[in-house]
Chains A and B, each alone.
Chain A
Amino acid sequence: MPRISALDMPDVPMGQLPEHLELQRTRVLCGADAPTHTEGIQYSGAYASMEVDIGLRIENFCRDFRIDVIRLTEDEMEFDMVGIDVALANAFRRIIISELPTMAIEKVLMVSNTSVIQDEVLAHRLGLIPIEVDPRLFEYISENDSPNEKNTIVFKLHVSCKRNGPRFTVKSDQLKWLPKGSELEMETGVKSSIKKKYTSFSCGQDTLPELSSKPIRVKHDDIIIAKLGPGQEIELEAHAVKGVGKTHAKWSPVATAWYRMLPEVVLLEEVEDEMAVELVNKCPVKVFDIEDVGKGQKKVVVSRPRACTLCRECIRGEGWENRVALRRVKNHFIFTIESVGQLPPETLFTEAIKILEDKCDRVISELS
Chain B
Amino acid sequence: MPSEGPYVYAAPIYVDVEYSIGSQSHKSIEKKERVLIGRMPIMLRSRLCTLNGKDEAELAKLGECPLDPGGYFVVKGAEKVILIQEQLSKNRIIIDSDSKGRIMASVTSSTAETKTKTVIFMEKEKIYLQLNQLKKKVPIVVIMKAMGMESDQEIVQMIGRDPRYSSLFIPSLQECAMMKIFTQRQALEYLGEMVSMGKTSSDPSVKVEKACELLLNVFLANVPVKQGNFRPKCIYVAVMLRRMVDAVLNADTFDDKDYVGNKRLELSGQLISLLFEDLFKNMNNDILLAFDKSFDKRSRSNPPNFIKYIFPDTITKGLEKPISTGNWDLKRFKMHRKGVSQVLSRLSFIAALGYMTKVSPQFEKTRKVSGPRALQPSQWGMLCPCDTPEGEGCGLTKNLALMTHVTTDDEEGPLIYLCYTLGVEDLELLSAEELHSPNSYLVIFNGLILGKHRRPQYFSNAVRRLRRSGKIGEFVSVFVNEKQRCVYLASDGGRVCRPLVIADKGVSRIKDHHMKELQDGVRSFNDFLREGLLEYLDVNEENNALIALYEGEATEKTTHIEIEPFTILGVCAGLIPFPHHNQSPRNTYQCAMGKQAMGNIAYNQLCRMDTLLNLLVYPQRPLLTTKTIELIGFDKLGAGQNATVAVMSYSGYDIEDAIVMNKSSLDRGFGRCIVMKKYSVKQETYQNNTSDRIVRPQMEIVKGELRLDPKMQILDADGIASPGEIIRPHNIYVNRQSPKCTRGESSKLLDSDYRPSPATFHGIEGETTVIDRVALCTDIDNKLCIKFLVRHTRRPEVGDKFSSRHGQKGVCGTIVQQEDFPFSERGICPDLIMNPHGYPSRMTIGKMIELLGGKAGVSCGRFHYGSAFGEPSGHADRVEAISDTLVKHGFSYSGKDFIYSGITGCPLQAYIFMGPIYYQKLKHMVIDKMHARARGPKVMLTRQPTEGRSRDGGLRLGEMERDCLIAYGASMLLFERLMVSSDPYEAKVCKKCGLLGYYNHKLKTPYCTMCKNRDNISSMKLPYACKLLFQEMQSMNIVPRLQLTED
**Chain A residues close to B by CB (< 8 Å):** 28, 30, 33-36, 38-40, 86-87, 89-91, 93-94, 97-98, 110, 113, 116, 118-121, 124, 128, 189-191, 245-246, 248-250, 252, 256-261, 284-285, 309-313, 316, 328, 336, 338
Contact = CB atoms under 8 A, between A and B. Distances in A.
B893 A313 contact: yes
Contacts of B826: 309
B887 A284 contact: yes
Contacts of B905: 86-87, 89-91, 93
Given A113-B724, A120-B770, A309-B890, A249 B663 contact: yes
Given A252-B664, A310-B898, A284 B908 contact: no
Contacts of B909: 34-36, 38
Nearest to A310: B898
Contact of A93 (B791, B819, B893): B819
30 contacts: A34-B910, A34-B911, A35-B907, A39-B906, A86-B904, A94-B902, A97-B818, A98-B818, A119-B770, A121-B617, A189-B707, A189-B710, A245-B818, A248-B667, A249-B664, A249-B667, A256-B823, A256-B829, A258-B823, A258-B827, A284-B889, A309-B825, A309-B826, A310-B825, A311-B886, A311-B887, A313-B893, A316-B893, A336-B827, A338-B827
Contacts of B606: 116
A113 B773 CA distance: 13
B174 interface: no
A235 to B, nearest CB: 12
B891 interface: yes
B817 interface: yes
Shortest 6 CB-CB distances between A and B: which pairs? A90-B905, A249-B667, A309-B890, A258-B827, A249-B664, A94-B819
Given A120-B770, A249-B818, A189 B708 contact: yes
Contacts of A328: 907
Contacts of B668: 128, 249
A249 to B, nearest CB: 4
A261 B708 CA distance: 65
Contacts of A113: 724
A35 B910 contact: yes
Given A86-B904, A284-B888, 6 more contacts: A30-B898, A86-B905, A98-B819, A128-B669, A309-B825, A311-B887
Contacts of A121: 617, 672, 674, 793
Interface string B908-921: 11110000000000
B910 A311 contact: no
Contacts of A90: 902, 904-905
Contacts of A313: 887, 892-893
Contacts, number: 120
Contacts of B768: 120
B905 to A, nearest CB: 3
Contacts of B829: 256
Interface in B772-818: 772, 791, 793, 817-818
Contacts of A256: 823, 827, 829
Where chain A touches its partner, the secondary structure class is mixed
A40 B906 contact: yes
Nearest to B607: A116
Contacts of A39: 904, 906
Nearest to A187: B713
A252 B819 CA distance: 11
A310 B892 contact: yes
A358 B682 CA distance: 63
B793 A311 contact: no
Contact of A190 (B674, B707, B819, B827): B707
A36 B907 CA distance: 9
Contacts of A40: 906
B705 interface: yes
A285 B617 CA distance: 39
A124 B669 contact: yes
Contacts of B930: none
A311 B890 contact: yes
Contact of B891 (A33, A128, A248, A309): A309
A98 B724 CA distance: 34
Interface in B652-668: 663-664, 667-668
Contacts of B669: 124, 128
B967 interface: no
Nearest to A330: B906
A38 B907 CA distance: 5
Given A28-B907, A93-B819, A256-B827, A189 B663 contact: no
Contact of A260 (B770, B825, B889, B890): B825
B908 A35 contact: yes
Interface string B823-856: 1011101000000000000000000000000000
A257 B724 CA distance: 39
Nearest to A125: B669
Given A260-B825, A284-B887, A310-B825, A98 B904 contact: no
A253 to B, nearest CB: 13
Nearest to A263: B825
A13 B935 CA distance: 77
Given A110-B724, A118-B674, A256-B829, A35 B911 contact: yes
B706 interface: yes
Interface string B186-206: 000000000000000000000
Given A124-B669, A190-B707, A256-B829, A97 B907 contact: no
Contacts of A336: 827
B770 A118 contact: yes
Nearest to A110: B724
Q: Which of B770, B886, B898, B902 has the most CB of A within 10 A?
A: B898
Q: Which of B663, B708, B713 has the most CB of A within 10 A?
A: B663
Contacts of B710: 189
A189 to B, nearest CB: 6
Contacts of B667: 248-250
A87 B668 CA distance: 28
A256 to B, nearest CB: 5
Q: Which of B888, B902, B905 has the most CB of A within 10 A?
A: B905
B890 A285 contact: yes
B690 to A, nearest CB: 33
Contacts of A118: 674, 770, 772, 791, 793
A110 B706 CA distance: 26
Contacts of B827: 256-258, 336, 338
Contacts of A309: 825-826, 890-891
A246 B888 CA distance: 36
Contacts of B890: 284-285, 309, 311
A311 B898 CA distance: 9
Contacts of A94: 819, 902
Contacts of B892: 310-313
A112 to B, nearest CB: 8
Nearest to A85: B905
Nearest to B676: A118
Contacts of B911: 33-35, 312
A332 to B, nearest CB: 13
Contact of B793 (A36, A120, A190): A120
B11 to A, nearest CB: 32
B831 to A, nearest CB: 12
A249 B821 CA distance: 14
Nearest to A113: B724
A30 B388 CA distance: 47
B891 A311 contact: yes
B724 A190 contact: no
A97 B667 CA distance: 14
Contact of B705 (A36, A190, A250): A190
Nearest to B663: A249
Nearest to A258: B827
A87 B818 contact: no
Interface in B868-888: 886-888
Nearest to A260: B825
A250 B772 CA distance: 26
